[in-house]
Structure 1
Amino acid sequence: MSRTLMAVAGRIAGACLLILAVVTLNFTLIKLAPGDPVEAIAGAAGGMSEELRAQIRATYGLDRSFLEQLVAYLKQIFSGNLGFSYYFNQPVSELILQRLPATMLLVFSALVISVVLGVLLGVLAARKPDGLLSQSVTVLSLVGYAAPVFWTGILLTILFASTIPIFPISGMRDAGMEGGMLDSTLDVLWHLVLPAITLGIVYLAQYSRLTRASMLEVLGADYIRTARAKGVGEFALLSRHALRNAMLPVVTMIGMQFGNMIAGAVLVETVFNWPGLGRLAFDSILRRDYPTILAILACSAALTIVANALTDLLYQRIDPRMKEGR
């Protein structure tokens, strides 16, 4: 029990140090980037006097040295205060809480689509490596991985805006939507189809290709040949014996790619005007809203670290050898 507690404490300490490093690096890069938030505020207001500009700099602490701003920001972050938005004129924590559910819905929907379909296609392709399906999966993985998400999103927008107007191409809800909770939920899911497919296609291609390669390796193992010799059915052989071991690299890839999926959501939300953190980040970058940008980056880093920790736990669940080794 003590070893477990020490391991958990060590992991939490490591996560805190990693978040500290990420927050410090993000703050440094933002400060080195060109642009002045006061000038952005002045431009949005149609101009202002030098006295008012100096007052705004003093209010937000922009007149201090870089080191003083960094120390003040770190104290603020680790006290639970994400700051105050220059442009939206409200606490950044409120903005994050308003937009986070939409981003999580998009990311997890894309993750489910990519993992389920990718693993299914990979398993089917591994049954006949030289068959048409296997070759199709290979082509799909190459095309899907090479296509940028914004390009895929634009193509789907054009297709379903003019050629086949089935799905909505913008927003999260219809403006004039009326009805109960069920109608509202179905409306959100209907708007979610195109953004989730756009974000999931790239990772579906990766997971299908990786599952195919891993399944081919597992199916050539001695214990699989022994199971076949004992008369184990094909479905039981694939689902109970082969797939569990073949999923280990896929689970690792899921944890590694979660941060990239959140980053890809920025482009997808911009294309489809999805009201999540990605859209908020895009608007904040245009307006030099540094507190909001830094908070979104810190939130993304924390989500990625949590996803990696959960992936590690899931890996131990799938592979008992890791638990025995520990």
Structure 2
Amino acid sequence: MLGVVVLNFLLIRLAPGDPATVIAGEMGGATQEMLESIREDYGLNKPLMTQLWIYVSGVATGDMGQSFFFNQSVTSLIAARVGPTILLVLTAQFLSILLGVFMGVIASRKPNGILSGFVSVFATIGYAVPVFWTGIMLIIVFASVIPIFPVEGMQSVKLRNASYITQAVDIAHHLVLPAFTLAIIYLAQYARLSRASMLEVLGSDYIRTARAKGASEGSVLFKHALRNAALPILTVAGLQFGNLISGALLVETVFNWPGMGRLAFDSILRRDYPTILGVLFFASAMVVIANLITDLSYRWADPRLRGR
């Protein structure tokens, strides 16, 4: 995490653009005196290494700095946005793993059948199509042609004072399109991966033994084979979590979802360095935690690791 903080800080500072010019433009003027005053107020006129030391020292004590544009602490800004992003990312992860693995397991029963071919074609298309294009197409179809889902936002304004159950249903209704948009590309990958992993496991001796003992096909597929085929899926799930967070930036922009991705997008346009760095820090922390959970889940999936 220390390496992430330092590298992100240096990369952001080396990127083109001057936040003082953006701030002055928002204030209605950009004279040289005003620019110098803004740089002094925000510490932008100090040497780069001095700025880095001040920033790292602040992060070490929990101070992510003050937003240039929103005039709030970065910690409070992210605290208000991290919940919607986690909800979107975890929902998309759950849908992609659940549906992808189910499709892969069913396709592995007849590797040369129609369903197996459909999974392969769907996986190729789903992986190739850009996530923002998928979001736009879903908006056109399910919010314009067949208007059954909301087109933007996380919650209807008129229901914000309703009961908790009504609000939860409304949020779930708003969540459908962005979650499926983010899930489709990874659903295709899990389908192909689980199909290939299941085909390898189904050729094992213990699977033939289970069938010889009269075990049902569902028990063979989901109890015996899937658990042993799950390790590659768990590995990819942990690695793909970071891609889900980066994909959430585009999805949140398309659907105007009030999460960290949308906050990062607005901050990039306004050269709001502290907010950008704060979003990158929390996103990196989420990826580290996801990889740790993935490592721990190996012990559940593979009994051979529990005694080590």
TM-score normalised by length of structure 2: 0.97
CA-CA distance at 1:233 after TM superposition: 1.6
Identity of aligned residues (%): 57
CA–CA distance in structure 1, aligned partners of residues 142 and 222 of structure 2: 37
Matched, 1:185 2:168: yes
Cα pair 2:108 2:195 within 8 Å, conserved: yes
Stretch moving more, 172-181 or 192-201? 172-181
Matched, 1:142 2:124: yes
Matched, 1:104 2:93: no
Aligned to 1:159: 141
Matched, 1:255 2:241: no
Cα deviation 1:201-227 (Å, max 9, x = unaligned): 011000011000000000001111121
Matched, 1:59 2:49: no
Where does 1:286-305 land on structure 2 (aligned, <5 Å)?
286-305=269-288
Aligned to 1:47: 29
Cα pair 2:131 2:250 within 8 Å, conserved: yes
Where does 1:270-281 land on structure 2 (aligned, <5 Å)?
270-281=253-264
Q: Secondary structure at the match of 2:188?
A: helix
- CA RMSD across the alignment: 1.0
| Superposed structure 1 runs of 4+ greater than 4 Å apart | none
Where does 1:17-28 land on structure 2 (aligned, <5 Å)?
19-28=1-10
CA-CA distance at 1:83 after TM superposition: 0.6
CA-CA distance at 1:27 after TM superposition: 0.6
CA–CA distance in structure 1, aligned partners of residues 157 and 206 of structure 2: 58
Cα deviation 1:77-115 (Å, max 9, x = unaligned): 111001100000000000000000000010011011101
Aligned to 1:310: 293
TM-score normalised by length of structure 1: 0.92
Number of corresponding residues: 307
CA–CA distance in structure 2, aligned partners of residues 39 and 323 of structure 1: 57
CA-CA distance at 1:245 after TM superposition: 0.6
Cα pair 2:67 2:275 within 8 Å, conserved: yes
CA-CA distance at 1:52 after TM superposition: 3.0
CA–CA distance in structure 1, aligned partners of residues 144 and 150 of structure 2: 11
Unaligned runs of 5+ in 1: 1-18
Cα deviation 1:54-89 (Å, max 9, x = unaligned): 222122111111111111111011110011000000
Aligned to 1:122: 104
Aligned to 2:66: 84
